[in-house]
Amino acid sequence: MDPSATHSVANGAIEAVWRIESAKIVAGLARMTRDVGLAEELAQEALLAALEKWPGSGVPDNPGAWLMAAAKNRALDHFRHNKLIEAKHEEIGREAEEGFMPDFDAFENDIGDDLLRLIFTACHPVLSTEARAALTLKLLCGLTTDEIARAFLVPEPTVAQRIVRAKRTLAEARVPFEVPRGDELAARLASVLEVIYLVFNEGYSATAGDDWMRPALCEDALRLGRILAELAPNEPEAHGLVALMEIQASRLRARTGPSGEPILLMDQDRARWDHLLVRRGLAALARAEVLEREAGGSLGPYALQAAIAACHARALMYSETDWRRIVALYDALAQLLPSPVVDLNRAVAVTMAYGPEEGLALVDAIAAEPALRGYHLLPSVRGDFLEKLGRLDEARGEFERAASLTRNAREIRLLLDRAAALHPGLRVVK
């Protein structure tokens, strides 16, 4: 094989492995070092070693294990070279009495627990909510600061500063690398649920790249959500989030075609949905509803979104969807979680229930919201409404604008195809 082709294959393999394994490596290193920032630096060094060696030696049979071993060796080298074990023996001994000690021997064990510890560490109250989410998306998902900025609709330098300050704050505060218990768990649960939800969403609709979805992220988020629901069995929103993710994940196989092209909800073959996940999701939603009734409250944001997803899951065909019920659920969600994005989603439901004129009026009313500036789904939704109204030239312009705003290659192609289908020269004369 041509050397340049070999190099390209190796780099592609490295990128793919890194997407899958980076969070586990950082989590394991964080358990060893008790320093999230240092753990990420050491993991990056292992990645650089792979970039240097794999193009020449070939991709190892178990690339994840290779990266793990390289990262562990660099962690050990770090302690030796900086003489932390010898020069700070007294300090380390004192910290060991307080429960701190680099955990060298157990590095390869309990990877799942390490990921959960990493989330709770990154979601510690010493950090702002924005910093917690940004840091976890970077560490757990391997997203770049640009991708995180687009996900949060904020400038990239803002995200970069949040991440740097968050890692420094965690180190200075000597935050323990552990899953909290009791009251502390309850206090930090909301932030952790938010982060898991963001991770799942990144997997369900990737911010950037060549693939519309990143199923591995959905699987990680779902697994962590299930663990959290077991840790907090009486928390309705933990079960609500699990319900939402189970039902959404049930559609993953049906959301893409043979070549990876996106398939929208209305066009999906519902026989390809994973009905075991649907049943699990509906059971988790029922559990959340029971807990809320017992507590005398009403459904929270995650449970409401799960109820919306359940409306789709219960419909045998797209045309049988109970859109009026979905509008009512979005009304309740907007009361609990006011957001232009929630309003945009509600407008879609209103269009399906009552017609595109009403939906378009709602979208135009929120179009100037600063949070939606640069949000590609705004012109995408507006283009869909305009197409339904027969205003094809305007719809084509909106689809083209939406394509210019997204960084996901599959979504760009989908939007440009929709725009091209509305081109005057391509219209079918009846």
| Exposed/middle/buried for residue 372 (C-beta within 10 Å: 0-12, 13-18, 19+) | buried
State both tokens at 53: 């060696």
Contact 299, 288 (CB under 8 A): yes
d(CA 80, CA 145): 32
Contacts of 282 (CB under 8 A, 6+ apart): 243, 247, 310, 313
Q: What is the pLDDT of residues 83-134, one digit of tens each?
A: 555 554 455 445 544 444 444 444 344 455 788 888 889 888 899 888 988 8
Alpha helices in 270-366 (DSSP H): 275-295, 301-314, 323-336, 340-354, 356-366
Rounded distance between C-alpha atoms, residue 366 and residue 349, angstroms:
15
Fold of 1-101: Rna Polymerase Sigma Factor; Chain: A (1.10.1740)
| Extents of the domains making up the chain | 1-101, 374-430
Longest dimension (CA), the chain: 86
Q: How many degrees, rounded to 5, is the angle at CA 215 between CA 235 and CA 348?
A: 70
- Are the C-beta atoms of 374 and 406 separated by less than 8 Å? no
Q: How far apart are CA 283 and CA 227, in angstroms?
A: 16
pLDDT score for 154: 80
pLDDT tens per residue across span 342-351 = 999 999 999 9
**Main-chain phi, psi angles of 262, to 5 degrees:** -65, 140
By three-state DSSP, how is residue 208 classified?
strand
Given this model, what pLDDT does residue 429 score? 38
Vertex 31 angle, CA 27 and 36, to 5°: 60
**Whole-number Å distance between alpha carbons of 310 and 308:** 5
Residues in the chain predicted with pLDDT less than 50, given as ranges, are 88-89, 92-93, 96-110, 427-430
Is the pTM for the entire model greater than 0.85?
A: no
Q: What are phi and psi of 208, to 5 degrees?
A: -150, 175
Backbone angles phi, psi at 233, to 5 degrees: -65, -20
pLDDT at residue 368, rounded to an integer:
93
Q: At what angle do helices 301-314 and 275-295 cross, to 10 degrees?
A: 140
Residue 150 CA: distances (Å) to CA of 85, 134, 193, 206, 340: 42, 11, 20, 11, 16
Sequence-distant (6+) residues with CB within 8 A of 75 are: 29, 32, 33, 42, 102
